[in-house]
Amino acid sequence: MSALELAAAIRSGERSAVDVLEEHLAVIDAREDEIHAFNLVMVEQARREAVDIDAHLAAGEELGPLAGVPVALKDNMCTRGVPTTCSSKILEGWKPPYDATVVQRLTAAGAVIIGKTNMDEFAMGGSTENSAFGPTRNPLDTSRVPGGSSGGSAAAVAAGFAPLSLGSDTGGSIRQPAALCGLVGVKPTYGRVSRYGLVAFASSLDQIGPFAATVADAALLLEVISGHDPLDSTSIAEPAPGLLSVLDQGVEGLRIGILDELSGHGVEGISPDVLARLDAAVEALTAAGATVERASVPATVYGLSAYYVIAPAEASSNLSRYDGVRFGPRTDGATTNEMMVATRTEGFGDEVKRRIMLGTYALSAGYYDAYYGKSQKVRTLILKDFAKAYEKFDLLISPTAPTTAFPLGAKTEDPMQMYLQDVCTIPSNLAGHPAMSVPFGVGDDGLPVGVQILAPAMGEATMFRAAAVLEKSGGAQ
């Protein structure tokens, strides 16, 4: 059953929240050792929440739109009294004293938080192999990666451990694993969803968003977590968008552009079978009444380069707080400075250290203007080029990821090859625009391919209309 169907069944009394939870816990028991989607399964807390929901229903109280639906959370979202590790040894055992805003909204909507999911350490990676607690495997083929950095959240939904999950997307960390696991994954407009309680990687890029098996379930979850939050200074002062109500409106009359620079013409490494699925998506949208033409956003070819200056620079600043004084375990040293160096050397993994050093270098005296300043100028160019494209088009489309899910260990020795996994997704983060991945058939290896739909800021409703059309068309080969 979909999340929408489960919530309706629980509200009607056809199902109980306890029974639904126990069914999902049984699936977790059967496959979690094989997949490692979770850092923590919150069994007892989830059972208490499910019992409470059934008690409220028995008392005749109104239940929220996610009544009794199990939801998994990426382990970089604060949960009061529950460990939040970001899959890093430097935060192992840390229990936040408050809930993230998205957690509060899930609870208010009646959701049952089932666990905290594995991730690339501090959200830095494209395969969920950088976790201090071991890699996550793709439930569709356990010899392959689930994508990253929100691979645990994607795997949890793909394996049936939870109907819904939340991830964070800084450069593609929701959309890329959604594509590799055959799911719907959404990065909302920057500021659409509160970042309060999200452990920061790169503050001007991070956004929380949903994973789901269907477009409608993703729309439901995004409606629940969206909306203004005074605790987040970057939160947009607008109410949550109405998304479920637009899913049947179709794409008749919409103008959709195939983004040249992200569709094999401006970037290397996109597999022919991925491009074939994009062509099929174009046919489906055209058949549904959209006008589809080629589009150009020239500056996006510099997106990867700009991102890997801006994101590490922000990360080096954000991660300076993990010093052995305020958070997590401490490694002793003869002096305060030696203690901090030892703690950070012991506590951070290789990829996090790599990005901290890159970012610190880019921000250092004599290099700031040459690297960080120039990258911010490129970011402005990307915004301007997108604005010009959206004068002509309502939406843009591209592949989500260059390939289907790749084997575990295939790219761990070559960081540049791993970084290229985000080449199609990064531009939307730099622009702050919404984008989503919709599964659309399979590649030559039988594994899922995702098509990315991009929209201008606050354009989620139009984006979901196109996603519903692609889903309805079935992605047939």
Indicate which residues carry an active-site annotation.
74, 149, 173
d(CA 82, CA 100): 12
Of 370, 427, 432, which Cα lies nearest the Cα of 398? 427
Is there a contact between 215 and 464 (Cβ–Cβ < 8 Å)?
Answer: yes
Amino acid making up residue 22: E
Please identify which residue in the block is written with the tokens 């959200």: 123
The angle formed by the CA atoms of residues 207, 265 and 455, to the nearest 5 degrees, is 30
Nearest to 67 by CA among 39, 36, 32, 106: 106
Burial of 142 per CB tally in 10 Å (0-12, 13-18, 19+): middle
Contact by Cβ (8 Å): 18, 47: yes
Helix (H) or strand (E) holding 273: helix 272-287
Most distant CA atoms of the chain, gap in Å = 70
Question: What is the pairing mode between strands 255-259 and 395-399?
Answer: parallel
Give the C-alpha separation, 15 to 67, whole Å. 11
Q: Are strands 207-212 and 164-169 parallel, antiparallel or unpaired?
A: antiparallel
The structure tokens listed for 98 are 């408050």
Burial class (CB in 10 A: 0-12, 13-18, 19+), 249: middle
The answer to whether the beta carbons of residues 6 and 20 sit under 8 Å apart is: yes
Tokens in use for 150? 């929100």
Distance CA 311, CA 379 (A): 12
**Which residue spans within 22-154 are E strands per DSSP?**
38-41, 70-74, 112-117
Exposed, middle or buried, 294 (CB in 10 Å: 0-12/13-18/19+)?
exposed
At what angle are helices 303-318 and 374-392 packed, to 10 degrees? 130
What are the tokens at 44? 């007892």
Nearest 5°: CA angle at 205, between 255 and 159? 80
